[in-house]
Amino acid sequence: MLLVFGAAAACGSRGAGPAARLSARLIRQSHDTLRFEAGALANRCGHPGGYGVVLQGSAHGNGVLIYVRSGDSAASGEFPLMARADSTTPRGAIVAARFQAGDLARGVVLDSGAVALSRAGDVLTATARGAGAEVAGTGRVALTASFESVRIGPDTVQCAARL
């Protein structure tokens, strides 16, 4: 996968203010619905020729990661989805989710939809809506995920596209 949920274990807000939260709803083709909430965090990420930010949250084996790429560090607005290994599109987003279905871990990378991002200083709000083919599965998964009051952390993470 493009990005790893490794740093998500330290989810939570940074500093004073409302707690950073992820709220997500996944609907599998079989019409099973999974809802979860988790703490969230965001970090800048560097890549040649632009700016990026990674938002992530996870709890109990379920998680969502959004990578937004922009040429402008203060970018807000609607971002179209990119393919997960796209290294040339200057502006867009990649959304991945991991979720538990019974005892099995499942995943999805969205291939349709968009991400809306707003920024007030160093606090982000983002909503991803879309669908994608279930990784190692046969159906499609719809996802709506909202990140609220997520303060951008002081660290910069790696965000190179990899297969």
Chain centre to alpha carbon of residue 48? 21
Report domain extents, the chain: 6-153
Amino acid identity of residue 156, one-letter, is T
φ and ψ at residue 96, rounded to 5 degrees: -130, 150
Q: Bigger pLDDT: 102 or 100?
A: 100
Amino acid identity of residue 112, one-letter, is S
The predicted pLDDT at position 1 comes to 37
First and final C-alpha spacing in the chain:
6
pLDDT digits (tens, 9 = 90+) for 9-66: 333 434 445 689 999 999 887 778 999 999 999 998 876 556 789 999 999 999 999 9
Nearest to 42 by CA among 150, 161, 160: 150
User: Which segments within 9-162 are labelled E, that is strand?
Assistant: 21-28, 33-47, 50-59, 62-70, 77-80, 92-101, 104-109, 112-120, 123-135, 140-158
Report the range out of 10-19, 91-100, 147-156 with the highest average pLDDT.
91-100
d(CA 127, CA 79): 10
pLDDT digits (tens, 9 = 90+) for 6-17: 333 333 434 445
Sign of the Cα torsion 139, 142, 148, 154 reads: positive
d(CA 159, CA 54): 8
The predicted pLDDT at position 146 comes to 97
